[in-house]
Amino acid sequence: MSKVVSEHVKWVGKIDWELKSFHGNELSTDKGSSYNAYLVRGSKKTVLIDTVWGPYDREFVARLQQEIDLKDIDYVIMNHNETDHSGALPELMRLIPDTPIYCTAKGQTIIRGHYHEEWNFVNVKTGDTLDLGDIKLTFIEAPMLHWPDTMFTYMDAGEGEHILFSNDGFGQHYATESLFDDCVDKSEVYHEAMKYWVNILNPYAAQATKKIKDILAMNLPLDIIAPSHGIIWRSNPTEIVNKYLEWANAYSEKQVTIFYDTMWESTRKIGEAIAKGICEEKPEYTVKLFNAGKEDKNDIATEVFKAKAVLVGSPTINLGYAYSIAGMMELIKGLRFKNKKAAAFGSCGWGGGAVKQLTEKLKTAGFEVANDGFEKMWVPDESVLKEAEEYGRNFAKDLD
Ligand code: FEO
């Protein structure tokens, strides 16, 4: 089923209500996702922008054929060639093998690397255009947002139809039949947009800021942003653009995020006592605790992103720290958060050491480590819990 986006554009993608994880199991997608592809019909030429993930290739092509005779597609534009967007290319190109594929030079390399086919590639750069008759398309390279091949396509079809096809940029893993931002729960969408930003785009925050500023400097009219995942922004497209500028600039809220794992509850009790101290010192702050062994890793990472300060807790086990904490540390190191204060805490039996190791790991992950951490032996009694509260109060003192 296709859906109308605007006078000249139809959505011809796939809504994936069942998707629960993405990039293998690297990213949870509790709200499903969509792979948005668009058919743009000009007075002289017609283009398809992007395809869908491979498992839906036949379904995608069959539905596309209900919309248009494939021979009437003059060009295929591939804004980005990760398999969730290029996966249906082989099935499509089997039927229209000579149709030109417009993509960046890196895009061509990536398509070849995936599908090992010699299709009719046309490489484009920023400023190159494609004339569809009454519609002009302009290509804007956006390398590392989030792959080297990424580009945006800007469409000028006149009044009310200035559309930026931004691929992953401004997207969210969010399944909806409603298509537009003004037809869904905005708070849900923004939650998913932030989770997407944190877990996919935040490592490239500098590139995102520069690219957005470059595009804003072009002074292009903008009516709609049509990403390749989730809803289409049409009610106020600059709102998500401004959110991206905020998120890309070492974003934080008045929040402290504490995540930990615990074997026999001692590390949990210390974490909760530290939280109590923080709340007493900074009652205006939100303090959240997560057991990393039980909660979703990407949701915790999103809460770390929101925080001005982070505490990481683990018992010492096998001379190191807990398995779930090791995974979290690797994840948040890769996400390259900035300007966040941090410290470690935990409990131990005989040797200890997890807190010292976590403190070092936090430094290498780019956090501003406040102190050597808080580590106590065995089960915390009242006096240790009081010490932990005091530690929390001191930790929070210089938060603004
Ligand atoms: Fe949605 Fe980078 O693929």
CATH fold of 255-397: Rossmann fold (3.40.50)
Q: How far is the CA of 82 from the centre of ligand 1 (A)?
A: 5
* Binding site membership of 79 for ligand 1 (Cβ less than 6 Å): no
CA 309 / ligand 1 centre spacing (Å):
30
> Residue 168: CB within 6 Å of ligand 1?
yes
Closest C-alpha to 57, from 90, 30, 22: 90
CB 85 near ligand 1, within 6 Å:
yes
Please state, in angstroms and rounded to a whole number, the distance separating the CA atoms of residues 225 and 241.
9
d(CA 162, CA 256) in angstroms, rounded, equals 41
Q: pLDDT for 81-125, tens place per residue? A: 999 999 999 999 999 999 999 999 999 999 999 999 999 999 999
* Apex 133 CA angle, 131 and 134, nearest 5: 110
% of the chain residues with pLDDT over 90: 100
Is 199 close to ligand 1, i.e. is its CB under 6 Å away? no
pLDDT at residue 244 is higher than 90? yes
What pLDDT, on a 0 to 100 scale, did the predictor assign at position 32? 98
How large a percentage of the chain has pLDDT more than 70? 100
C-alpha to C-alpha distance for 379 and 266, rounded to whole angstroms: 5
pLDDT in tens, 255-277: 999 999 999 999 999 999 999 99
**What are 316-365's pLDDT values in tens digits?**
999 999 999 999 999 999 999 999 999 999 999 999 999 999 999 999 99
In three-state secondary structure terms, 394 is helix
For 113, 139, 220, 309, 381, the CA distances from 396, given in Å and listed in that order, are: 50, 48, 45, 8, 23
> Distance from the CA of 228 to the center of ligand 1, in angstroms?
8
| CA-proximal residue: ligand 1, atom 3 (nearest) | 82
CATH topology of domain 3-248: Metallo-beta-lactamase; Chain A (3.60.15)
1 has pLDDT over 90: no
Entry field: residues in the chain: 400
- The domains of the chain are located at 3-248, 255-397
* Model pLDDT for residues 23-36, shown as the tens digit of each residue: 999 999 999 999 99
Residue 83 alpha carbon, nearest atom of ligand 1: 3
Tell me, using a 6 A CB cutoff, whether residue 149 lines ligand 1: no
Can you tell me the mean pLDDT for 123-142? 98
- The number of the ligand 1 atom at minimal distance from the alpha carbon of 168 is 1
pLDDT the model gives residue 383: 98
Q: How many angstroms does the Cα of residue 28 sit away from the middle of ligand 1?
A: 14
Token pair for residue 224? 């709609």
Question: Whose alpha carbon is nearest atom 1 of ligand 1?
Answer: 168
Mean pLDDT of 286-292: 98
Separation CA 84–CA 63 (nearest Å): 17
- pTM tops 0.95: yes
Residue positions annotated with a catalytic role: 23, 80, 82, 84, 146, 168, 196, 229
H or E element: which one contains 101?
strand 101-103
Count how many Cα atoms sit within 13 Å of the Cα of residue 145 in the half-sphere of its side chain. Answer: 25
16 touches ligand 1 (CB under 6 Å): no
